[in-house]
Amino acid sequence: MIIEIEENLSDYCIECEGSIIYTPEIGETVCNQCGLVINERGLDLTNSDKRIYGEQQYMNKKQYGSLITPLTPAVGLHTVLLTKEITNPDFRRVAKWNTRLTWNEKNILIATTELNRISSNLNLPYYVKVSAIKIYKKLNKMNILKGRSINAMVAACIYYSCRKWRVNRMFIEILEETSCSEKDIRRCFHVLLNELNLKVPAVDLNSLIPKYASKLKLDRSVVNSVIMLLESKKGSMFIMGKDPKGVCAGALYLICKFKI
């Protein structure tokens, strides 16, 4: 491709006053008449595209937008047809239908919005959000979401991802951020486990102690003593099957009683 530069006083050849042309493929600026090479290593800084290292990459060069992540709903990624420029009524109707979303796209869009809202309020890390949305999309492909609340299933996916990645967010904390009932979320959670054959990891009691101790403004020595107590009783029948919050509260109360 050869680009002819606009003719002005600064774009004439210094030897024959001929017009100047620029070849972007080799980065040379030469005279169109005498062939004088004016610049042989010109750089095109106007294009913000990715770097190209070969002819095949140059042929496949495409403009692109922001990075697509699992949290990016597949909305607006198709070609947008401008209906104002279409005179044929049949084509205009096709362009109108092209802008409409399918139910699956609407479902994922609503779920992603709800997931981002809950995750933002609970300060969940990025990998937990990605894990939750992947589980939700997998359930959507299996046609398991029909007849179930989107928000309840999103809350169930978030709760499982928190348990999977050992992020200390209790069920009651997630429940407070949703408008769904506890019964609906628990029902969706059991459906999630049964359909995907998942197992819920046990809650790490030692990770809950610092959280409760900070709310009660307890010393570090109390936290260490409680952790040692729970480690000594780990796997015993006294705490198996018990509510983790109740076990941690009982251990904290017992150690504080002895410290006083």
Mean pLDDT, range 71-85, rounded to an integer: 67
Highest-scoring range by mean pLDDT, 56-70, 77-91, 237-251: 237-251
pLDDT tens readout for residues 25-39: 666 788 877 777 777
pLDDT tens readout for residues 207-233: 889 888 988 889 889 999 999 998 888
Helix 126-141 with 150-164: angle, nearest 10 deg: 130
Is the predicted pLDDT of residue 64 greater than 60, yes or no? no
Architecture of domain 67-201: Orthogonal Bundle (1.10)
Q: What is the pLDDT of residue 141?
A: 92
Q: What is the pLDDT of residue 204?
A: 83
Q: Quick one: residue 204, left, alpha or beta (phi over 0 = left, psi -120 to 50 = alpha)?
A: beta
Q: What is the pLDDT of residue 65?
A: 55
Is the predicted pLDDT of residue 72 greater than 50, yes or no? yes
For the chain, give percent helix, strand, coil, nearest 5: 50, 5, 45
Tell me what the pLDDT averaged over the chain comes to.
82
CA-based radius of gyration for the chain: 31
Token output for 76? 């607006």
Question: Percentage of the chain with pLDDT > 90?
Answer: 38
Gap between the Cα atoms of 163 and 170, Å rounded: 9
Token output for 223? 């936290």
Question: What are the sequence ranges of the domains in the chain?
Answer: 3-59, 67-201, 205-259
Name the pLDDT band for 4 (thresholds 50, 70, 90). very low
What's the fold here for domain 3-59?
N-terminal domain of TfIIb (2.20.25)
pTM of the model: 0.67
Highest-scoring range by mean pLDDT, 14-18, 42-46, 74-78: 14-18
| Residue whose C-alpha is closest to residue 73's, from 122, 136, 21 | 136
Q: What is the pLDDT of residue 58?
A: 60
CB 178 within 8 A of CB 151: yes
DSSP assignment, residue 202?
Answer: P
Q: Provide CB contacts within 8 A for 68, sequence distance 6+.
A: 77
